Structure 1
Amino acid sequence: MRIDKYLWSTRYFKTRNKATTACKKGQVKINGQVCKPGREVFPMDEIVLRKNQIDYKLTVLATPESRVGAKLVAIYRKDTTPKEAFQHNELLQYSKDYYRKKGTGRPTKKDRREIEDYLETPTDEEETDNKE
């Protein structure tokens, strides 16, 4: 079975076209080598897949005939992705919450002034120098 079809049938990608695009971009590796979308997948192959800033690691157990249900995916692959990869993604989510919400546009004049005031606040050393 082709790698793009395998990733689509085991529900790593919503469409086969997205799986093909990921292979062409070099985001899919089989046994440590970047592969083309037409590369054949065999049982016991190690696949490393980069998706949403997470490196998924999986082992092929069998190849399905066609797309399978979510409950049956475990029959065809073994997921060996380390938990640290998911924790790193959670940290990225928290860091993004600090910034402005998506879709709010450019900073307003008030926002810009608040940013400038924050950046220009004197440090403790400067305050003590001014008092003396």
Structure 2
Amino acid sequence: MSAERVRLDKWLWAARFYKTRRLATEAAAGGKVQVNGQRAKPARDVQVGARLTVSKEGFEYELTVLGLSERRGPASQAQLLYEESAESRQRREALREQMRAAALGTPRTEGRPDKHDRRRLGAFKRGQGE
């Protein structure tokens, strides 16, 4: 953590936002990461105090860089590299709850229908009822 500048893709990987550096590079190149409100390329240097916006899997993280690292370490160490804003955390939790509620309304099946179920389904589709 002694460097004063680190490449964006390396920092995102070290902070454990992406599992591989290649995924971090693709996210930055694809416009999923902004540094200080501007779209950033993977090779852009990140400094302590920079404000990052990371869009990942439908969630948006607003972060402030607190530390730099080019090496990926344990998750407990990675969490010390950034601080997420309270508003960002609240928005993510609200979105997560909405997604859970939507998933509860989706019917679940017990698996593939067996022979008896297929015959009942065929009869229903033909209008014969049960």
| TM-score of the aligned structures, taking structure 2 as reference length | 0.72
2:101 aligned partner: 94
More relative contact order, 1 or 2 (CA 8 Å, 6+ apart)? 2
Contact kept? 2:53, 2:63, Cα under 8 Å: yes
Distance 1:101 1:7 in 2: 36
Percent of aligned positions that are identical: 28
Could you say what the CA RMSD is over the residues aligned between the two structures, in angstroms? 2.6
1:17 aligned partner: 22
Structure 1 stretch 73-82 or stretch 34-43: which is displaced more? 73-82
Deviation of residue 88 (structure 1)? 1.2
Deviation of residue 74 (structure 1)? 3.0
- Which of 41, 44, 66 does residue 61 from structure 1 map onto? 66
1:78 aligned partner: 83
1:44 aligns with 2:56: no
Number of residue pairs aligned between Structure 1 and Structure 2: 110
Q: Which runs of 5+ in 2 are unaligned?
A: 1-5, 113-117, 126-130
Structure 1 segments of 4+ aligned residues over 3 angstroms from their partners: none
- Larger Rg computed on CA atoms: 1
